[in-house]
Amino acid sequence: MEGSLLPKSRELFEKNLFNKTHRANAEIIMLDGLTCVYRSNVDLFFYVMGSSHKNELILMSVLNCLYDSVSQILRKNVEKRAVLESLDIVMLAMDEICDGGIIIDADSSSVVSRVALRNDDIPIGEQTVAQVFQSAKEQLKWSLLK
């Protein structure tokens, strides 16, 4: 859907979506011919959308997988600041769940384990200082245990 809307119309759609969902207690709405399932937590909203003929239960399983994966990655600290600080890993999780609108995986534990594996393979030049220290700490721990 990202490429199908012009920036102005996408912005209008997003504003309309938020206005219809930010006070509602429902988990699903129909908007502009799309089935939208959503979940909110503290200061974040998670949305998964599909065409009007998509199965809501499948969309909800993708939403639950996304939320549970993010929750595990952020150690249950699911709020805007934590997501922004770990946005690269959250985006990896989203990439593991869905690619080009095709659902790849809807099991949060397998998504999180694959994200952890991919995160370990980041070249040292692209790692944050914390990632380098964590990697060094792990290597030192394993060398001492031998």
The CATH number linked to 85 is 3.30.450.60
- pTM for the predicted model, two decimal places: 0.72
What value does the mean pLDDT take over residues 90-110?
89
The predicted pLDDT at position 144 comes to 62
Is residue 70 in some structural domain?
Answer: yes
- Between 97 and 133, whose confidence is greater? 97
Q: Is the dihedral of CA 63, 67, 68, 70 positive or negative?
A: positive
Contact yes or no for 46/30 (Cβ under 8 A):
no
Number of structural domains (the chain) is: 1
- Distance between CA atoms of residues 141 and 122, nearest Å: 20
Give the per-residue pLDDT at 86. Answer: 87
Report if residue 116 sits inside a domain. yes
DSSP 8-state code for residue 20: H
Segments in 38-107 forming alpha helices (H): 56-73, 80-85, 87-97
Asked whether residue 140 is domain-assigned, the answer is: no
Domain range spanning residue 64? 2-132
CA distances from 83 to 56, 72, 115 (A): 26, 12, 15
In a domain, 137, yes or no: no
pLDDT digits over 60-94, tens only?
999 999 999 999 988 888 889 988 888 888 888 99
Q: Examine residue 141 and state whether it is found in any structural domain, yes or no.
A: no
Sign of the torsion formed by the C-alpha atoms of 7, 16, 59 and 80: positive
Averaged pLDDT for residues 123-130:
55
Query: Which regions of the chain does DSSP assign to beta strands (E)?
Result: 28-31, 34-41, 44-51, 98-99, 102-103
> Is position 76 within any domain?
yes
Residue indicated by tokens 């993708």: 62
Does residue 98 sit within a domain? Answer: yes
- 146 is a domain residue: no
**CA dist., res. 82 & res. 86, Å (int):** 6
